[in-house]
């Protein structure tokens, strides 16, 4: 591949698929608290409604402010959002309406996991998604006494898709896509996955990889954190760096202006973390190695027009080394920093064919994350041993460590 074609190919990908940050500039008027010309102030809402304003609408009786599951609490359409506003959730079997273009704004909608059947005008359960089907299977197995001690009922969102995370009792929690497939992002199962494992960045990364038909390469995306959120420090187009929100990747507003990569420091950006970030550098070592080797290939192919065998590192969306790496002689598990795990090194030979074929190092990485003294059993290739034993009972697990088959308790 020529230099011009290679660069054109690379630049087109960056232009088309690099996630863009849109900066919103909000101009705030600085006024005194007594300035009567300003409408939206605490004083205005304290006195709302005024003589010419309508009274705050009464909340639907089904809405309960102490129970967010009773309705959808939103910003009020009244001036300055002074009033409380809620759309109540209906239960399965309740009468509902699909609405018309001329209909008034709804005050009630079918609750999560339900939809309004236009034929019966009743709220009925959603069906047909992988998560809902998995829930139905779990419920049937439970009724028949086939659910194991460490099996977990799938958790679906209001549209019937998987919530962003899956947890293993006594193990780890990891990010999943809407169909339940494991993606980047994991933490120790501390009971706070709902708050500590947002997976918003890793889901976007996975979605974009699906769109272009391959995994995004270093420099083509906003970097994710280990918990699947956006890292607060981001650099765009190899030069401009700024702070972003961890949930949606949008630029945060601070007194510090965006800076060049070479000027990155604790003094230049508030989101710079000196414990993990390096002054004057943004890319992590795996990313740096990948990008430097790519440039070497670029130069050699331009000068000699030949393809060379280069071992490019596999990097994760947080810029660190992927758990599975290899060279011409071995396949092995590594830490995020790229350090080999001595217990999980497999030589490339015919006798290790099966171990090499499906090597994923998920068990090895779980043991490194977990704070519990009870660790899962791992194979030589770092995968979960299909048979796990815990507290005197043995059971089968899938490649992510989830119990899948209930067996009669056996002593270890």
pTM as predicted: 0.76
Identify the CA nearest to 275 among candidates 264, 283, 266, 285. 266
Identify the CA nearest to 18 among candidates 283, 184, 219. 219
Q: What is the pLDDT of residue 171?
A: 95
Please determine whether the domains at 42-125 and 324-405 fall in the same fold group of CATH: no
> For 323-373, how does the pLDDT look when each residue is reduced to its tens digit (9 = 90+)?
999 999 999 999 999 999 999 999 999 999 999 999 999 999 999 999 999
- The fold of the 42-125 domain, in CATH, is Lipase, subunit A (2.10.80)
Q: Which residues pair with 33 in a beta bridge?
A: none
Kindly state the DSSP code that residue 328 receives in the 8-state scheme.
Answer: S
CATH class given for the domain over 324-405 = few secondary structures
In angstroms, rounded to a whole number, what is the distance separating the alpha carbons of residues 246 and 266?
Answer: 19
In angstroms, rounded to a whole number, what is the distance separating the alpha carbons of residues 360 and 402?
Answer: 15
Q: What is the pLDDT of residue 127?
A: 86
Q: What is the pLDDT of residue 305?
A: 65
Sheet of 387-390: strands edge to edge? Answer: 387-390, 393-397, 403-405
Contacts of 35 (CB under 8 A, 6+ apart): none
Tell me which of 96 and 253 has the higher pLDDT: 96
Q: Which range among 30-34, 206-210, 292-296 has the greatest average pLDDT?
A: 206-210
Q: Domain ranges in the chain?
A: 42-125, 324-405
> For 58-89, how does the pLDDT look when each residue is reduced to its tens digit (9 = 90+)?
788 888 877 777 888 888 777 788 888 889 99
Kindly state the DSSP code that residue 268 receives in the 8-state scheme.
Answer: T
Distance of CA 409 to the CA centre of its chain: 36
């Amino acid at each position: 591949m020529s230099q011009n074609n290679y660069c054109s190919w690379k630049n087109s990908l960056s232009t088309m698929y690099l996630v863009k940050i849109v900066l919103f500039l909000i101009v705030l008027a600085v006024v005194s608290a007594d300035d009567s010309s300003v409408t939206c102030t605490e004083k205005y809402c304290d006195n709302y409604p005024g003589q010419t304003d309508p009274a705050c609408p009464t909340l639907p009786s089904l809405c309960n402010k102490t129970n967010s599951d009773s309705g959808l609490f939103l910003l009020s359409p009244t001036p300055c959002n002074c009033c409380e506003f809620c759309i109540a959730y209906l239960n399965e079997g309740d009468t509902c309406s699909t609405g018309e273009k001329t209909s008034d704004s709804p005050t009630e909608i079918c609750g999560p996991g339900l939809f309004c059947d236009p034929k019966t005008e009743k709220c009925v359960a959603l069906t047909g998604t992988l998560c809902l089907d998995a829930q139905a299977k779990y419920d049937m197995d439970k009724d028949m006494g086939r659910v194991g001690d460490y099996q977990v009922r799938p958790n679906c969102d209001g549209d019937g898709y998987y919530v962003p995370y899956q947890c293993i009792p006594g193990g780890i929690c990891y990010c999943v896509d809407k169909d339940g497939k494991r993606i980047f992002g994991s933490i120790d199962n501390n009971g706070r996955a709902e708050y500590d494992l947002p997976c918003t960045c890793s889901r976007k990364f996975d979605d974009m990889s699906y769109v272009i038909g391959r995994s995004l390469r270093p420099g083509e995306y906003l970097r994710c954190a280990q918990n699947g959120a956006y890292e607060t420090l981001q650099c765009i187009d190899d030069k401009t760096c700024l702070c972003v929100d961890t949930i949606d990747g949008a630029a945060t507003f601070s007194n510090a202006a965006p800076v060049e990569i070479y000027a990155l420091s604790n003094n230049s950006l508030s989101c710079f973390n000196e414990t993990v970030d390096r002054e004057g550098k943004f890319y992590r070592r795996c990313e740096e190695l990948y990008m430097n080797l790519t440039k070497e290939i670029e130069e050699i192919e331009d000068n000699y027009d030949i393809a060379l065998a280069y071992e490019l590192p596999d990097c994760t969306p947080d810029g660190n080394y992927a758990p599975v790496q290899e060279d011409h002689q071995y396949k092995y598990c590594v830490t995020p920093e790229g350090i080999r795990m001595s217990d999980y090194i497999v030589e490339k030979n015919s006798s290790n064919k099966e171990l090499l074929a499906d090597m994923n190092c998920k068990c090895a990485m779980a043991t490194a994350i977990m704070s519990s003294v009870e660790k899962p059993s791992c194979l030589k290739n770092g995968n979960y041993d299909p048979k796990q034993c815990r507290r005197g009972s043995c059971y089968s697990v899938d490649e992510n460590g989830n119990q899948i088959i209930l067996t009669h308790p056996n002593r270890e």
